[in-house]
Amino acid sequence: MDVRIEALLQEDIDWEYLLRMAHRHKVAPLLYWHLDATCPEAVPENAFGRLRAHFRANSLRNLFLTKELLGIVNIFGAHGIPVVPYKGPALAASVYGNLMLREFNDLDVLVHRHDVPKAKELLASMGYQARYQLSHAQEAAFLRSQCEHPFKRKDGKSVVELHWEITDRHFFSFDTERLWSRLNRIPLGDDIVLNLSPEDMLLILCVHGSKHAWERLGWICDVAELVRVHQDMEWERIMAQASALGGQRMLLLGLFLAGDLLGTVLPGKVSQVVRTEPTAKALAKQLREQLFQETDYPAGFPQVHKGEAPAFHTLHLKARERLRDKIRYCVRKATTLSGEDWELLPLPKFLFPLYYVLRPIRLTKKYGPEILKRFL
């Protein structure tokens, strides 16, 4: 890699564009790390100084968030609540081997569904406020339909996403109990924490990337580094699990992007499957073409609001290989109530069916004007 970096530095590089893309794709720390290790003298001082300043600021923030995460893990553990940190500091430490090389803005932790009420109380005692203020009856319904509860520290310095499922059930259904049965442990700071198995983490990363249309190169780097570090992964188990859950195409899409853009080397049989799945290849081509353009949405997938579901319905459907999953996605997306729906109006439990009437009204008000603009 050093030789390739040195060769590229001899070219006429648009450093302003490069830095914009590095920040957009959350890979500025990696860019700085490799440039500093290769030939920093070949980088214009202004550009290198800005990368260095960002790297230091990101390092301080990552250390703060890691300390915050370990505090949460220890407090939860002291009250008998098993907790699994994933993504964020856990992924940086276990895959990159260095907390400083990955950017993350929030802390994702997985707990059992029955531990959520106690976990909420503990987060509140630590100065965190729940994003959604729900009644007891609303909370019970929310736990059944959603996958996470966001919490923000009162001083705004950190956000915790408390998960009892990995992702929205309308998008993909993981067997969460099986995830708990395959945990391992990793060092994080001065502690040892629970961690998801590499095989489960790979599928989770590919599902997450597909959900968000792989709009960040950093997510593809996560897949590439996971595969590089864990070369002894049980690939037969990974492929079988992805197929059983209806996520094989999302897995292949993530692996194809990692191989195509970052040169990730896969076992022969896996590589053959990745290269011969036509829909995954076609989707990867569309996403790759848009990845470094300065627009806010992936090629072929025009959106209404960045990061919201209307942007990516087409991709979400194409990324599923089974018809029943496509139908389930459409039905659940239309009927699953979100935190915003529950917050819209406090209703007694016997009137909860009215939320299903209010949901399309809320969505029409939120997205209707922008949708109309596209057709008028």
Nearest to 249 by CA among 218, 290, 203: 203
CA 19, 310, 27 angle in degrees (round to 5)? 20
Average pLDDT, stretch 161-168?
A: 94
**How does strand 148-153 pair with strand 128-130?**
antiparallel
Cβ pair 273, 242 in contact under 8 A: no
Distance CA 179, CA 81 (A): 16
- Residue 17 within a domain: no
The set of long-range contacts for 285-294, using a CB threshold of 8 Å and a minimum separation of 24, is: 287/213, 287/214, 287/257, 288/257, 288/260, 288/261, 291/25, 291/214, 291/215, 291/217, 291/261, 292/21, 294/20
**Per-residue DSSP letter, 236:** H
3-state secondary structure of 107: strand
Question: pLDDT-derived band of residue 228, with 50, 70 and 90 as boundaries?
Answer: very high
What is this structure's pTM? 0.89
- Residue 188 within a domain: no
Residue 299 clears pLDDT 50, i.e. is over it: no
Residue 300 clears pLDDT 50, i.e. is over it: no
- Residue 82 within a domain: no
Residue 334 clears pLDDT 80, i.e. is over it: no
Give per-residue pLDDT as tens, 15-61. 999 999 999 999 999 999 999 999 899 999 999 999 999 999 999 99
Residue 375 clears pLDDT 60, i.e. is over it: no
Average model confidence (pLDDT) across the chain: 89
Question: pLDDT-derived band of residue 331, with 50, 70 and 90 as boundaries?
Answer: confident
- Residue 108 within a domain: no
Angle, helix 248-262 to helix 217-229, in steps of 10 degrees? 90
Residue 302 clears pLDDT 60, i.e. is over it: no
- Residue 90 within a domain: no
Which range marks the domain in which residue 260 is found? 198-336+362-376
**Residue 193, beta-bridge partner list:** 186
Nearest to 201 by CA among 325, 113, 273, 94: 94
Cβ pair 302, 294 in contact under 8 A: no
Average pLDDT, stretch 157-186?
A: 93
Give per-residue pLDDT as tens, 250-269. 999 999 999 999 999 999 99
- Residue 42 within a domain: no
- Residue 191 within a domain: no
Q: What pLDDT, on a 0 to 100 scale, did the predictor assign at position 367?
A: 62
Average pLDDT, stretch 104-125?
A: 95
- Residue 207 within a domain: yes
Residue 358 clears pLDDT 90, i.e. is over it: no
Question: pLDDT-derived band of residue 295, with 50, 70 and 90 as boundaries?
Answer: low
Q: What pLDDT, on a 0 to 100 scale, did the predictor assign at position 142?
A: 83
What's the total number of domains in the chain?
1
Q: Which of 92-101, 113-122, 166-175, 243-252 has the lowest mean pLDDT?
A: 166-175
Residue 340 clears pLDDT 70, i.e. is over it: yes
Question: pLDDT-derived band of residue 296, with 50, 70 and 90 as boundaries?
Answer: low
Where do we find the tokens 């095989």?
Answer: 199
Nearest to 104 by CA among 86, 84, 88: 88
Q: Per the structure block, which two tokens stand in for 370?
A: 């922008």
Q: How many CB atoms lie within 10 A of CB 324?
A: 9
What does each C-alpha distance from 90 to 97, 160, 237, 360, 365 come to in angstroms? 10, 14, 23, 38, 39
Nearest to 24 by CA among 229, 371, 245, 294: 294
Distance CA 218, CA 22 (A): 9
